[in-house]
Chains A and B, each alone.
Chain A
Amino acid sequence: GESVGLHLPTLSVQEGDNSIINCAYSNSASDYFIWYKQESGKGPQFIIDIRSNMDKRQGQRVTVLLNKTVKHLSLQIAATQPGDSAVYFCAEGVFGNEKLTFGTGTRLTIIP
């Protein structure tokens, strides 16, 4: 079946370093991808999205890379801060189909 998964369930990064969170997807028809951040006790918070006609998109301290050839998505966070500690989810969707499929999440811990 179709699935969205993450290579690493946990990731610890030293404060100030860059972090990379990876996500693999299997639905080749997916053309829209989103990264969400979920802090403890809160709802998922939109970080950045990318459509399949792009392979890179940058935001504030975050960059999403999309490799459609190998169905891989990554989220890069530059100069990590303690507030970046959270669970990060990737989600995929197909344009015209409102349903999003979420990955299981990666817990990012920033070490002071």
Chain B
Amino acid sequence: DSGVTQTPKHLITATGQRVTLRCSPRSGDLSVYWYQQSLDQGLQFLIHYYNGEERAKGNILERFSAQQFPDLHSELNLSSLELGDSALYFCASSGPETDLETQYFGPGTRLLVL
């Protein structure tokens, strides 16, 4: 158990809908990262938050957004969902420094868009 929690574990929805994925980092960690893992593309970095502020963006679509709250939990919002958004979405957290540190992953949310 990495100490990172994610909810829900599974999510089934329809095209055009909007969903919110939630992540709670390990106790004491200030950084939260979001990744998308699909069968054909592996782990793709989406976005990184540190202590409530956006630090870096990766291959995140404009239909996707995220935020980190004062209690350090984070939410990833996916809107206007398409079939191709079906994937595993992982959250990871790392320690109190802003520099590169080991990231610990949550169990993921499996999203299926029908």
A98 touches B55 (CB 8 A): yes
Measured CB to CB, the closest approach of chain B to A62, in angstroms, equals 15
- Give the distance to chain B from A105, nearest Cβ to Cβ, in Å: 6
Could you tell me the distance between the alpha carbons of A45 and B104 in the complex, rounded to whole angstroms? 7
B71 contacts the other chain (CB 8 A): no
Assess whether B56 is interfacial by the CB under 8 Å rule. Answer: yes
Distance, CA A105 to CA B39, complexed state (A):
11
* Distance to closest chain B CB from A39 (angstroms): 11
Query: Whole-angstrom distance between the alpha carbons of A43 and B37 in the complex?
Result: 10
Task: Say whether chain B's binding surface is mostly helix, strand, loop, or mixed.
Answer: strand
Q: Is the CB–CB distance between A94 and B43 below 8 Å?
A: no
Q: Name A94's closest neighbour in chain B (CB-CB).
A: B100
Binds A, one of B12-20, B62-70, B78-86, B105-113: B105-113
Near B by CB (< 8 A), chain A positions 27-66 give 32, 34, 36, 42-46, 49
Please report whether the interface of chain A is mostly helix, strand, loop or mixed according to DSSP.
strand
Q: Mark B47-60, 1 if CB is under 8 A from A, else 0.
A: 01010000110100
Shortest beta-carbon distance from B100 to chain A in Å: 5
Residues of A within 8 A of B105 (CB): 36, 43-46
Quick one: closest B residue to A89, CB to CB? Answer: B43
Residues of chain B touching chain A, judged by Cβ–Cβ distance below 8 Å, are 2, 4, 31, 33, 42-45, 48, 50, 55-56, 58, 90, 92, 94, 98-100, 102-108
**Interface, chain A (partner B; CB < 8 A):** 32, 34, 36, 42-46, 49, 89, 91, 93-105
